[in-house]
């Protein structure tokens, strides 16, 4: 038991990526801070859910059907834990790099499995809290639940994720044991990560829509009660045990509630033991069969050779290499490439949730006529600076090289060519964001084409600025000492510094335009001149001083 806990602690630390040698001072706060930051970040979502639930409660209470809320939530959370569990389990149990080091250690399968399960469970609590937290509290407040209700809630919250996670674990172990998915590790991680993000966005959209449109009590009643309870049945049906949990929560005052709770706890423990027994048989075999990646081992044909040996300039070749690595390395793909596509989506969600029929077109026409076109441009530039400043490609350009940075020093390529190729990679991805945002502007907001054209020019200059500052920051503070690619991007503060810098410029520009008050064309000229000048100055710094800084990076 103690070994399991020790191991779980080590795994958890490895997962967050801080080595023992790391800065001691920041150790404790960071550990405690992460969940707090997450909760704060998701607070708006939780509040929306809570409001949604409140309305639901009010419309169901007259019929005495409010318990459905808890049933639905418990079932939904089980389903969510199960889905996320599949992703977590495969990452924690199979794809994390510690597996190879753990196998030769004198640990029993039970200890390794329990430790890994515990780590995964902790992640799940975070996820489950986002939904279950608002539900349990809202329900408790509305139904005037006593202390017993909250004790039951806590117990249910702690126990609930175990069963779906057990199911997900067993399923994952079977999949890994009997398919060759392990061989396509990178592809799986990319798809899994993308799905998780899309799912989160979808949920966000769903709740925002629901909360905004308001709940029609009649409709809800029809859907949940008058119907054959299909929704509730479907959701809770997947994990029958969650019915006991819901029952325990809705009948805290009666003995039946207690019985349900005890039964639920018993089933949970039983299934966990079953998981351990099965894991013993499945886990080690499937882990030992893991090979790093897929290989076809087929000879290269002459045509293939001819096609793939097309000569390119050093710049083009380096740019291509950067893009290939960005697209093929899952953490880079998720943090750099996917994010550049997601920003426009994230921003358009609230707009779409409004129904998309807002009079933005006439709004911007009005702005143009009333001479506020300059502010629209400044606002657009601010948005571009914000989203491209938030892109991690440029500010991690050198960090991503990691221990292999030295390769760039013995290859016959001028540092400036290499830096410019890295700059171009970042610019390309941030321009994708800019263009997509303009597309949203065109189709959702109906911004006039002329304005879009001006915004495109400014967007190009703004995103170039963000990439230049990003690369210069990374040249000064490259984070090369990492052992998993995840740490090169996710735990790299350079992205944050760059975003702050870009936001600062955005704010300054906005106030400059506001103060000057020189109409659309005047503002366009001022913004463009300022940004081009900044771009040119930073470019000069990059190709002169930047070369020197690059040479001075010692490993």
CA-CA distance, 448 to 446, in Å (whole number)? Answer: 6
Locate 245 and state its tokens. 């949990």
Whole-number minimum distance, CB 478 to another protein, in Å? 15
Residue choice 16, 179, 219, 294 for contact with another protein (CB under 8 A): 294
Cβ–Cβ under 8 Å, residues 429 and 340: yes
CA-CA distance, 74 to 409, in Å (whole number)? Answer: 56
Whole-number minimum distance, CB 321 to another protein, in Å? 5
Count CA atoms closer than 13 A to 422's CA, side-chain side.
Answer: 30
CA-CA distance, 417 to 439, in Å (whole number)? Answer: 32
Binding to another protein by CB under 8 A, coded x per residue (else -) over 411-450, reads: xxxx------------------------------------
Buried b (16+ CB within 10 A) or exposed e, 220-236: bbeebeeeeeeebeebb
Whole-number minimum distance, CB 92 to another protein, in Å? 21
Q: Does 102 bind another protein (CB under 8 A)?
A: no
Residue choice 19, 230, 313, 362 for contact with another protein (CB under 8 A): 313
Q: Does 293 bind another protein (CB under 8 A)?
A: yes
CA-CA distance, 363 to 356, in Å (whole number)? Answer: 14
Q: Does 300 bind another protein (CB under 8 A)?
A: yes
Q: Does 230 bind another protein (CB under 8 A)?
A: no
The shares of helix, strand and coil residues in the chain, as percent rounded to the nearest 5, are 80, 0, 20
What is the 8-class DSSP label of residue 554? Answer: -
Stretch that binds another protein, among 19-27, 31-39, 300-308, 391-399 (CB under 8 A): 300-308
Q: Does 317 bind another protein (CB under 8 A)?
A: yes
Cβ–Cβ under 8 Å, residues 147 and 290: no
Work out the angle between the directed axes of helices 339-353 and 185-213 (0-180°, nearest 10).
20
Query: Locate tokens 């329900």: which residue?
Result: 139
Residue choice 314, 349, 352, 512 for contact with another protein (CB under 8 A): 314
Q: Does 483 bind another protein (CB under 8 A)?
A: no
Q: Does 21 bind another protein (CB under 8 A)?
A: no
Is residue 446 left, alpha or beta, with left meaning phi > 0 and alpha meaning psi from -120 to 50? Answer: left
User: Which is nearer to another protein, 25 or 410 (by Cβ)?
Assistant: 410
Q: Does 303 bind another protein (CB under 8 A)?
A: no
Residue choice 1, 97, 214, 308 for contact with another protein (CB under 8 A): 308
- Window 376-405: residues binding another protein (CB under 8 A): 404
Cβ–Cβ under 8 Å, residues 75 and 235: yes
User: Which is nearer to another protein, 124 or 401 (by Cβ)?
Assistant: 401
CA-CA distance, 364 to 381, in Å (whole number)? Answer: 16
- Window 158-197: residues binding another protein (CB under 8 A): none
User: Which is nearer to another protein, 461 or 475 (by Cβ)?
Assistant: 475
Whole-number minimum distance, CB 285 to another protein, in Å? 22
| 11, 128, 331, 493, 509 from 326: Cα distances, Å | 27, 32, 9, 19, 32
> Hey, is 204 helix, strand or coil?
helix
User: Which is nearer to another protein, 401 or 474 (by Cβ)?
Assistant: 401
CA-CA distance, 480 to 271, in Å (whole number)? Answer: 44
Locate 473 and state its tokens. 């920051």
Whole-number minimum distance, CB 241 to another protein, in Å? 42
Locate 143 and state its tokens. 């139904």
Locate 146 and state its tokens. 């006593």
Buried b (16+ CB within 10 A) or exposed e, 149-165: beebbebbbebbbbbbb
DSSP string, 329-368: SHHHIIIIIIHHHHHHHHHHHHHHHTTS--THHHHHHHHH
Count of other CB atoms within 10 angstroms of residue 276: 16
Residue choice 144, 310, 357, 370 for contact with another protein (CB under 8 A): 310
Cβ–Cβ under 8 Å, residues 52 and 215: yes
Whole-number minimum distance, CB 367 to another protein, in Å? 47
- For the chain, the distance separating the N- and C-terminal CA atoms, rounded to the nearest angstrom, is 41
Q: Does 545 bind another protein (CB under 8 A)?
A: no
Residue choice 20, 21, 24, 296 for contact with another protein (CB under 8 A): 296
User: Which is nearer to another protein, 146 or 289 (by Cβ)?
Assistant: 289
Q: Does 198 bind another protein (CB under 8 A)?
A: no
What is the 8-class DSSP label of residue 483? Answer: S
- Window 318-377: residues binding another protein (CB under 8 A): 318, 320-321, 324-325, 328-329
Determine the size of the site formed for another protein (CB under 8 A).
Answer: 40
User: Which is nearer to another protein, 105 or 298 (by Cβ)?
Assistant: 298
CA-CA distance, 519 to 368, in Å (whole number)? Answer: 9
Stretch that binds another protein, among 245-253, 309-317, 352-360, 449-457 (CB under 8 A): 309-317
User: Which is nearer to another protein, 186 or 535 (by Cβ)?
Assistant: 186
Stretch that binds another protein, among 236-244, 317-325, 521-529, 531-539 (CB under 8 A): 317-325
Residue choice 409, 493, 511, 516 for contact with another protein (CB under 8 A): 409
Locate 470 and state its tokens. 């990003």
Whole-number minimum distance, CB 553 to another protein, in Å? 10
> Hey, is 179 helix, strand or coil?
coil
User: Which is nearer to another protein, 33 or 305 (by Cβ)?
Assistant: 305
User: Which is nearer to another protein, 219 or 293 (by Cβ)?
Assistant: 293
Whole-number minimum distance, CB 297 to another protein, in Å? 5
Residue choice 292, 483, 517, 548 for contact with another protein (CB under 8 A): 292
Whole-number minimum distance, CB 473 to another protein, in Å? 23
Query: Locate tokens 């006991």: which residue?
Result: 244
User: Which is nearer to another protein, 406 or 511 (by Cβ)?
Assistant: 406
Whole-number minimum distance, CB 548 to another protein, in Å? 12
Cβ–Cβ under 8 Å, residues 76 and 141: no
Site residues (CB under 8 A) for another protein? 291-300, 304-306, 308-314, 316-318, 320-321, 324-325, 328-329, 404, 406-407, 409-414, 551, 554
């Amino acid at each position: 038991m103690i070994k399991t806990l020790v191991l779980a602690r080590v795994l958890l630390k490895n997962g967050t990526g801080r080595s023992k040698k790391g800065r001691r001072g920041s150790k404790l706060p960071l550990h405690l801070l992460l969940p707090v930051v997450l909760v704060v970040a998701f607070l708006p979502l939780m509040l929306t859910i809570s409001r949604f639930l409140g309305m639901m409660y009010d419309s169901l209470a007259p019929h005495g059907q409010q318990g459905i809320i808890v049933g639905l939530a418990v079932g939904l959370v089980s389903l969510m834990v199960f889905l996320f569990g599949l992703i977590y389990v495969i990452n924690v149990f199979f794809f994390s790099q510690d597996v190879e080091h753990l196998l030769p250690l004198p640990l029993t399968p039970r200890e390794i499995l329990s430790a890994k399960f515990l780590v995964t469970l902790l992640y799940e609590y975070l996820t489950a809290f986002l939904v279950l937290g608002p539900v349990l509290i809202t329900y408790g407040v509305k139904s005037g639940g006593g202390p017993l209700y909250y004790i039951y809630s806590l117990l249910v919250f702690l126990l609930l994720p175990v069963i779906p996670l057990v199911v997900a674990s067993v399923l994952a172990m079977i999949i890994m044991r009997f398919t060759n998915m392990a061989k396509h590790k990178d592809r799986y991680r990319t798809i899994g990560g993308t799905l998780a993000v899309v799912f989160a966005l979808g949920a966000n959209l769903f709740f925002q829509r629901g909360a905004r449109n308001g709940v029609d009590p009649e409709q809800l009643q029809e859907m949940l009660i008058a119907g054959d309870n299909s929704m509730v049945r479907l959701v809770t049906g997947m994990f029958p045990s969650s019915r006991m949990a819901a029952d325990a929560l809705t009948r805290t005052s009666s003995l039946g509630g207690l019985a349900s709770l005890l039964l639920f706890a018993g089933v949970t423990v039983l299934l966990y033991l079953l998981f351990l027994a099965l894991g013993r048989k499945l886990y080690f075999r499937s882990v030992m069969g893991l090979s790093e990646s897929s290989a076809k081992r087929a000879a290269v044909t002459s045509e293939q050779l001819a096609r793939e040996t097309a000569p390119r300039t050093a710049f083009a070749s380096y740019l291509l290499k950067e893009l290939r690595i960005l697209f093929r390395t899952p953490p880079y793909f998720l943090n750099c490439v996917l994010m550049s596509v997601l920003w426009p989506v994230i921003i358009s969600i609230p707009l779409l949730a409004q129904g998309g029929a807002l009079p933005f077109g006439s709004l911007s026409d009005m702005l143009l006529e009333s001479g506020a076109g300059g502010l629209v441009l400044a606002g657009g530039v601010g948005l571009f600076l914000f989203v491209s400043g938030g892109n991690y490609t440029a500010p991690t350009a050198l960090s991503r090289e990691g221990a292999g940075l030295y390769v760039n020093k013995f290859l016959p390529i001028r540092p400036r060519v290499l830096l410019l190729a890295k700059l171009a990679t970042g610019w390309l991805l941030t321009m994708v964001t800019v263009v997509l945002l303009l597309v949203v502007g065109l189709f959702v907001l109906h911004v006039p084409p002329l304005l879009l054209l001006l915004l495109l020019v400014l967007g190009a200059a703004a995103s170039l600025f963000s990439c230049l500052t990003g690369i210069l920051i990374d040249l000064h503070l490259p984070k090369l000492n990492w052992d998993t690619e995840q740490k090169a991007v996710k735990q790299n503060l350079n992205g944050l510094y760059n975003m702050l810098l870009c936001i600062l410029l955005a704010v300054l520009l906005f106030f400059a335009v506001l103060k000057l008050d020189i109409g659309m064309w005047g503002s366009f000229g001022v913004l463009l001149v300022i940004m081009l000048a900044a771009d040119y100055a930073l470019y000069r710094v990059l190709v002169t001083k930047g070369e020197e800084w690059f040479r001075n990076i010692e490993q």
